[in-house]
Amino acid sequence: MDQFHRVITLTSAELRERWFEQSSAAGWAFVSDWHHAAVDALCEACLLGQNIWAPAERLGSVRADKGVSLGETLADLDGLACVLPDIADGIIHRAASLGWAERMTTPRHAVFDPLTGLVSVDYLRTRLGEVYRAAEVAGTKVSSTHGLVTVRLNLAGRIGWDRLTPLILAGDAMRTVFDGGQTLARLADHMAIVLTERTPMLARRTHLLTGMVAERLGRDQQADESPARIWIERLPDNAPAAVDLIGELAR
């Protein structure tokens, strides 16, 4: 009780300083971009017991505007939770994620989904066609050279914007793990896939992705069931069958 009392008697400036120290220690890259009026507003709301949703959502929007990834934004908020362990960090993470997403609604390119940074289904079909044509020229089978890392999300009990939060978080994890030119696509609100080569590291990368998605979605989990199921899907040996498979996975 005494420790909690000491924490809540921090001033806004002291909380901001300790929060920044935590984020800096965790690797915040751009010191000059960290402080913003939205940071002060969130500090004050936490200390005064006010509604934290609006300032957290605003901070997420500010971070997106500065080009900060969703993963970095949430890691920064983890620093706040280290200083104030009694705050509702799940609510803060969800609000910041939605603020970040809304700021990202202007597409950088037509093939990208603006919320997740994942490519569209149409672009995925184009990439599959290229892979199958290359395999035909090389005399190889796509089932042996490529596969689909499939991420199916549990959206039970979610409505409206809240249905998009798991895909936004999962997409950020996918880009972190598969950062070597693989095709990362959004099939539906509950489904995303990675078109990737079958390398010796594929199983390890898939395992890493599973843990990362579980950790990020665990903060936001609203249902008792597992937040995601991730597996490697075998591709068929002809392009039309691959397109059919994509359609089935999207359902």
What's the first-to-final CA gap in the chain, in angstroms?
51
**pLDDT greater at residue 14 or residue 9:** 14
Domains and CATH numbers, the chain: 2-103 (no CATH), 121-249 (3.30.70.270)
Q: What pLDDT digit, counting tens, does each position of 68-121 carry?
A: 778 888 989 999 999 988 787 788 998 999 888 877 765 544 577 777 889 888
Per-residue pLDDT at 5 = 39
Per-residue pLDDT at 8 = 52
Q: What is the token pair recorded at 73?
A: 């934004």
Per-residue pLDDT at 2 = 37
Rounded-to-integer distance, Cα 249 and Cα 191, Å = 7
**Would you say residue 222 has pLDDT above 70?**
no
User: Directed axis angle between helix 89-103 and helix 70-83, to 10°?
Assistant: 150
Confidence of residue 223 (pLDDT cuts 50, 70, 90): very low
What's the rounded mean pLDDT across residues 234-241?
90
- In percent, the amount of the chain with pLDDT more than 70 equals 89
Reported pTM: 0.58
Q: Are strands 191-197 and 228-234 parallel, antiparallel or unpaired?
A: unpaired
Q: Which of 68, 126, 70 is nearest to 98 (CA)?
A: 70
